Structure 1
């Protein structure tokens, strides 16, 4: 069977791994582990195609232990039991290194089956996942493991890997002269979105699908690789960690009054076609981050959101852009958000007491016999539609929840409240 180029290029030495300098350079954690030869339970976390499996294979080779590799996507509890059966055989006297790819696909029971053997050292687990381990991996596994995050490869890393892949292809096709345009590598690196495996697959397709000319040469240009690469796919999984990362960056950019960054993250969400999540997030931002500084923001955003839902993509992107820019350029206040959270906190932590009797409902026959509403003062009967009276329960009568922010709108609120209360 002919091995894919992505497998042929897989480094066998740590010096050939591209990227991940924060882990592999001298003095960094994985470099220290490789030098010491002492391997402990580890979980590799990061996007696809960035070297997790490659580094796990290299680390496994430095141990004097039997190496097993399974993929949780198609493995079962029986596969784990087969490995456990081998633990006391002659081949596994020094223990086992188990590389478990995509561990997030194992359920709790499957993950738990490893715990006893991780605890006594018979199994050293090196697991990898593209999902946030703190969301998807059983806590007892996490507590026994070191979490190591692999980062997305940059364009230079991808180009370096592509050159190495082409050199290997040249060795395989020794009778054919492979030439390429640097711009072609740049294009592939750009659309691969940090995934070296995807980039190598594109180059491999370009090499083997390009017609050999009369000089026994093939030339890879930008047009060639464009035909061999899919439309750029963003790293976005509605049920994955990246889903929350993009939405978080979107809201924080709006909160930070950066319209350009806000539109960038909106574009990512639009590209993924996630209309509902965009609309929900815009609505909450209008109240959480703009709030009382510009109370009409929610009205504008609701109109834009309704328009977007009615239009659908691709036209929906336009009202969504308007709503995003309105919020990103609006004055900011989180006073409404803070006020309700403070009130909810009191409900959880304090004996707030009963509602004052004169505030209780009195719209029924006999309410006056129960003392309901008798001492209530109707504000509209007084000057400026205000009369001082206690509204909070006795136990928390001095509590303050709403603190106006430092913005033009809430300065007016402060002035108004001061005026009517001190009149």
Structure 2
């Protein structure tokens, strides 16, 4: 009897140890950040410069500053109207600029990148390059644009032209390049160097950007504790930062399997932050919880928001995924996938097109697209999962097994609902 009792005690202690290993977060760390306030979408600084703009105004500096402030308000609120207002102000500045025109073109290109208007962004980047001033900034922008467009060879050439291990802009781009190539360890090393640069400069915007991006990379690498700590570091700088709160909610949901707590965190964010993706995530969590009513309510909220024409093509990828996996509107998915391939012919865009063909019953066409546009060109888990399903449907069992092993290591990134899907490959 004593041995049985000892055996039970060992099992209990082992279970407790496992729970402790899974437990990363502590509500005491982040509860103080969950009392959300309405985002600040004005300031004396903004009002001063905005007041200088008249219907026939030609004050370049006013338009540039106001455009930058609108972009900041978009980041703070998730409200698309501020990104569109920023575009309008920057477009006016670009039209009237005699000096500093290259900088205005770059700012407008970045605005278009945010709107997923990548081809237009490239045009403005090309115009900036033609002027010639601020060459390093323009070269960095060209790298960003070509990465979004899937022109990876061209992007690499621009990256090589920037090489400077002391430059924050170079470090974050070479990190992105290594992530694209599937070398996560090198990605993290470069991002850690970028973080050091940001901290040494005491530039809070760069620090905030470094912390949240490094937190993402740590999560992909399975370094969940490091990821959590960096999201907290971001919140210490900006207590209202929605992205950092979303990151913590994902850890709580995907790693700790506590969907109710993750939902509580996100509910505090969506009181004021209106980015559609947050409601999509809430719908996913509610579905995992078995709360169909809450899942549908958040999905409805997502669709309500993205119907705003101001979003343009920004949420095509999310909509395609929903049409393929939730509503089974395969024709709509196929049409949008073709649009995405035209806008940005990346492996991700092609994976949606291939998956649409699979869902419509044309597995061979799906496989042809995979072999031509996806194989060996990306390490994104979501793309690889769609690819694995296409391999399975076409009898490529060896390729399925190879991807399955990789995908099992990416369940945290893909979300707990995918674990069963991967196991059935």
Larger of the two Rg values belongs to structure: 1
Q: Same fold, TM exceeding 0.5?
A: no
Structure 1 length-normalised TM:
0.24
TM-score, length-scaled by structure 2: 0.24
Structure 1 or 2: larger helix share? 2
